[in-house]
Structures are given as structure tokens and as C-alpha cells.
Amino acid sequence: MTASGRPAFERAGLWLLHRLEPERAHSLSLWALRLGLAPLPAPVTSPRLAQRLAGLDLPNPVGLAAGYDKNAVAIAPLLRAGFGFVELGAVTPRAQPGNPRPRLFRLPADRAVINRFGFNNEGAARISARLRARPARGIVGLNLGANKDSHDRAADYVSVLTQLGPLVDFVTVNVSSPNTRALRDLQQGAALSDLLSRVLSARERLASPLPVFLKIAPDLDLPALDAIATISRAQRLDALIATNTTVARPTLSGRFATESGGLSGAPLFAPSTRILALLAQRLEGQVPLIGVGGISSPEDAYAKIRAGAAAVQIYTGLVYRGLSLVAEINRGLERLLAADGFSHVSEAVGLDRDRVAGQG
């Protein structure tokens, strides 16, 4: 271990990866995981952290957000890395290359990333084979996407669910990526209601129906949040994920600050946490929430939980902190919960909801 408390091998690996073009580094990190070359932190579990969410028994509330392992190539090592659950994808019915490169940009001074991938993935058929070989243990979810040139995007979500739903533990309807033209229009009123009705009907036709989550953007106004909350309750969604990346641009540093695409990382923390709290107010516990956006410490994760999240997901934080961040957050949550006198993480959910919702 180094003086910073992070493994020396991990620090060296991150230094090397950050010398490479970001998308190449992304691919190399997955390759290292598959070959067992990346150090994996020991899982952290305890009765205080074990959480039941949408019928799923999570060993801890810290999950991997979609976008890292788009093609399900490193499921087993990711499950061994200590995540309470892992979300793969997004996956579309047909393979597609995504947007032209370069499309991934680091902003180290801001601890942020901008991406405009555009749902690049190898398609449902190829990913199906990998999911069939996944470990039996561990909670694995799949982020559903639509092909860029699709004339019926709702049918695309249904197609991926029908093909791959039996191979995973939950699915997420992703209507919030900013990198596929007009995709975010599906978050609006009648379009969202129709989409979810079709997806949920397809879910009921599976031999073993599974939880369906919805992932939303951080750039929604209050009427849009009201509509999403109303539809989520009416459709009896199993959970909402708040939030995806933002198209907003706070003050950023570095030569890539003006690149187009979705911004993630530290600058997203405050706006995404406020959206989370606003949704928690509107849902009043009827639909559980998963908090995503800018988490890079135990304190960040705890703030999401106190704002209303039953569980959290991380991704950009791993770019700058490595996989040891997973164990660090779980150990820190254990410490923070104990310091506040809580015997279980569920006791802290939503305690700061109204305060956080009132900010901004």
C-alpha cells in the first residue's frame, strides 16, 4: 500500500492507462480484467450493508453503472471486485459502431469525463452467448438501448428484453443517453407511458419476469419529473435510476471542456443528487431509487443514500480511483452508518431528502 492508502500496483496501472488515449485505455482495462491482470479488492459485506431492492438481495448497495462493460466481456471479474450488483450494456438489437472517434475525453482537473459513444455495442445476439456463460452467483443487470436508425425504438427495447431478459437479474430502460438523436424525447409523457407499457407487457411474457428499472437524465424540469413520477407509480416500475450524464456545462477546465456529449463525474454530483431528492419527494417510497452521478468517496455515496437512494452506482470515479474504490466506499459506508447510530443502511435512506431537494 502507498501513503495514500491505495495499492501501489493499482496506482501504477492508473498512471499507465492515463498515458493512453481514453477509449484505448478503456479497452485495455477490460482486457486486463479478463486475463486476471487487474488487482481485485476483497468484497466488503456486512448485515448493515446488505440491501433488498426490487426483490433482489444485494450483498452491499454499491453497484457498477452501465457503460463500462458494454459487451459483457468481463462479467466474472467484475462480480469478484466487490460490487453489490453489476449493470452491463447498453445493448441494442443490432450491432452498431456508435459515433465517430474521438468520443471519450478525460477532464482530470475536474475529475470528470465527457463521452459521446452513441450506444456502440456488438448487438444482442453476440452478447447473448456471453450472458449464457455468466457465473450463476451475483446480481447482473442489462441496460436496454435502441438502434440509432430504428423506426420503432420501443420495439428495440422489447426485442433486447425478450432475447436477453431470461439471462439477467434486472433490466434498465435507458431513455436518457444524450448521444443518440431524439432518444431523450422518450422521457416525455405519452411517449414514456407507451414505451414502458410495451416493455412491461413483454416482461410479463417471459417465463420468469424480472425487475424493470428506468434511467433518467439530470436535465429535466419539474413538470417532467412530476410526469415521470406519476407514470412510474402507475406502471409499477421496480426502480428509477437517477441520473445519466448531463448536457449542461458548468465551469470546466482543460482543452476538452467544450466537447459535446454527456458529462459525468464530480461536476454531476450536485445536480444529479438534487434530481434524486426531488424524485424521492414525489415517489414517497413507492418506487425505490438508485443514485448515480459523481460518486468518488464514501461520503458521496452516503449523501446519495440520505437524499433518497436505496443503492448507488459508480463508474467515472473508477477512472480516477481504480477498483479499490468499491471496497473503500463500502467500508466507509459501514463507518458512517455506525457513527450515526444506524444498524442498517435502509434507516438512512431519504433523511436529507427535503433539504437537498430545496437546494438549487
Report the first-to-last Cα separation within the chain, whole angstroms: 40
Q: Of 150, 176, 177, 264, which one is the catalytic site residue?
A: 177
pLDDT exceeds cutoff 80 at 360: no
Q: Which pLDDT band holds residue 5 (cuts at 50, 70, 90)? A: low
Chain segment 115-145, per-residue pLDDT in tens: 999 999 999 999 999 999 999 999 999 999 9
Q: Which amino acid appears at position 327 of this protein?
A: A
Q: Where are the alpha helices (DSSP H) in the chain?
A: 8-17, 22-34, 75-80, 124-132, 153-164, 189-204, 222-235, 269-283, 298-307, 316-321, 324-339, 353-357
pLDDT at 58 over 80: yes
- The band of 4, judged by pLDDT with boundaries at 50, 70 and 90, is low
Backbone CA torsion sign across 286, 288, 293, 299: positive
- Tell me which architecture the domain covering 44-357 has in CATH: Alpha-Beta Barrel (3.20)
Question: How many of the other CB atoms lie within 10 Å of CB of 102?
Answer: 12
Section 138-165 average pLDDT: 97
pLDDT at 7: 83
- What is the average pLDDT across 4-29? 92
pTM over 0.85: yes
d(CA 277, CA 4): 33
114 near 259, Cβ under 8 Å? Answer: yes
Cβ 112 vs Cβ 263: under 8 Å: yes
CB 133 within 8 A of CB 161: no
Q: Beta 62-64 vs 85-91: how paired, if at all?
A: parallel
pLDDT over 50 at 192, yes or no: yes
Check whether 156 has a pLDDT greater than 80: yes
Whether the pLDDT of residue 74 is over 60: the answer is: yes
For all residues of the chain together, what is the average pLDDT? 96
Q: What percent of the chain has pLDDT over 70?
A: 98
Place of cell 450506444: 119
- Please give the average per-residue pLDDT across 109-113, as a whole number: 98
pLDDT band at 3; cut points 50, 70, 90: very low
**Mean pLDDT, range 329-341, rounded to an integer:** 98
pLDDT of 161 above 80? yes
- pLDDT at position 187 over 90: no
pLDDT score, position 131: 98
CA distance 299 to 351: 15
Task: Check if 177 is active-site.
Answer: yes
Tell me the C-alpha distance between 265 and 282, whole Å.
Answer: 26
- Predicted confidence (pLDDT) at residue 76 exceeds the cutoff of 80: yes
Domain ranges for the chain, please list them.
Answer: 44-357
pLDDT of residue 43: 86
Helix (H, G, I), strand (E, B) or coil at 32: helix
Predicted confidence at residue 81, as pLDDT, reads: 96
Which grid coordinates are listed for 227? 410526469
* Single-letter residue type at 7: P
Averaged pLDDT for residues 246-267: 96
**Phi, psi dihedral angles at 171 (to 5 degrees):** -130, 155
User: CB–CB of 123/96 below 8 Å?
Assistant: yes
Task: State the pLDDT at residue 2.
Answer: 46
Is the pLDDT at 254 greater than 90? The verdict is: no
Whether 1 has a pLDDT exceeding 70, the answer reads no
pLDDT over threshold 70, residue 346? yes
Closest CA to 82 of 345, 328, 326, 334: 326
Asked if the model's pLDDT at residue 6 lies above 80, the reply is no
Q: Look at the block and give the residue holding cell 459523481.
A: 294
**Phi-psi category of 55—alpha, beta or left, where left has phi over 0 and alpha has psi -120 to 50?**
left
